[in-house]
Each structure stands twice: as C-alpha cells, then as structure tokens.
Amino acid sequence: MRVKVLQPIVAETASQIVNKASEFPETILIKKDHWEIDAKSLLGLLAISLQPNQEIELEVHDSSQTEGIDALLSTGFFKKI
C-alpha cells in the first residue's frame, strides 16, 4: 500500500511506530527506494530518514492481513494515497 509520510520520523515518532508494529505477529515492511526494512526495527526506521511528503510502501510480509498497516495509518504519521 502506497502511503505519504506526514511528519519527520525521528526517535520519538519512530519509537511509536515500532511499538504499534510490534503489536502484530506479522512482519510489516516499509519500502523506500532500494531500502526494505522491518517496521519493528527502530534503527531501520531511523536509517531510512523518512521526511514529510515522501512516498513509501507498507507491506505485510507472508500475509493478506492488513490490520498492522491499518494500525500504522492510525498513528497519524502516514496517509494512504
């Protein structure tokens, strides 16, 4: 699912995303350019340096479940496009 980043993802916001993603057993991937990181990885999120108006892709690995992605959208850091 393509989404737009609404605010800079820094340590505090990245921590909130990791905590939300960790509530789900599935692997939630965040894809930006050539990067593909696990949404449960704080260092991974900080490494890809997400900034407002960037477009990324959220994907649930090995599952058709979308609850994890919906939960990340509910944080207010991303908007579905």
40: pLDDT strictly greater than 70: yes
Contact 3, 56 (CB under 8 A): yes
Contact 2, 74 (CB under 8 A): no
Mind spelling out the 3-state secondary structure of 54-66? Answer: CEEEEEEECCCCC
Domain residues for 7? 2-80
pTM beyond 0.85: the answer is yes
- Residue in the block written with tokens 């908007």: 79
65: pLDDT strictly greater than 70: yes
> What does the DSSP 8-state code read for residue 76?
T
Token pair of 60 as six digits: 């649930």
For the segment 16-33, what is each residue's pLDDT rounded down to a tens digit? 999 999 999 999 999 999
| Domain containing residue 6: CATH number | 3.30.1340.10
Domains of the chain: total: 1
pLDDT at 63 (0 to 100): 66
- Residue in the block written with tokens 């593909």: 36
pLDDT at 64 (0 to 100): 67
